[in-house]
Amino acid sequence: MIPKEILDSVIESEISNKTFSSITSIIDKRLENYNDPNVDLILGGPPCQAYSSIGIARDPNRMKDDPRNYLYKHYVRFFKKYKPKMFIFENVKGILTAQNGEVFRNLKRSLSRVGYNVDYRVLNSKDFGVSQNRQRVILIGWRSYYKISYPNSP
């Protein structure tokens, strides 16, 4: 069972230009309660509908005009504001090829501009004891001054 104080700390909100400042205000207030307000890790990923093969197949425009293609930009804003030491970003494999790979190239460039080295792997949940054959892109980023690399997994 998850402790109530952890459940109560979850911020359930759409991330958008309208909500960004209210979300960061909540986070800032919470960080004030810690002796060390630095953020070590951000974990997340934007909704995957714009990059999923099912979403692309169902849309006559192949999701080209879907604004969800660019939700990753809000995550980059969080990285820029909070400067976590590292982040883990998860999404479907289609993010690699969305708009002929341009979305992923732009994501990596944006992350580099805000000070991160990035690397990614396509991992399958079945290789980690999950009873599903589900591939996901796991992108890991770390502040450029750290001399680390993507961890090898068995």
Tell me: the pLDDT tens digits for 51-100? 555 544 455 555 556 655 677 888 899 999 999 999 999 988 888 988 88
What is the percent of the chain with per-residue pLDDT over 70, rounded to a whole number?
Answer: 84
Domain contains 136: yes
> Helix 72-82 to helix 20-31 angle, to the nearest 10 degrees?
30
Its domain, for residue 57, covers 38-143
Taking residue 47's Cβ as centre, other Cβ atoms within 10 Å add up to: 14
In the chain, the number of structural domains is: 1
Domain contains 30: no
Beta strands of the chain (E only): which ranges?
41-44, 86-92, 116-124, 135-143
- Write the CATH number for 86: 3.40.50.150
CA torsion 46→14→73→60, rounded to 10°? Answer: 60
| Neighbouring-strand partners of residue 137 | 91, 122
Q: What confidence score (pLDDT) does residue 9 get? A: 83
Domain contains 68: yes
Domain contains 93: yes
Q: What confidence score (pLDDT) does residue 117 get? A: 96
For 29-46, the pLDDT digits (tens) are 889 888 778 899 998 877
Query: Which of the residues are catalytic?
Result: 48
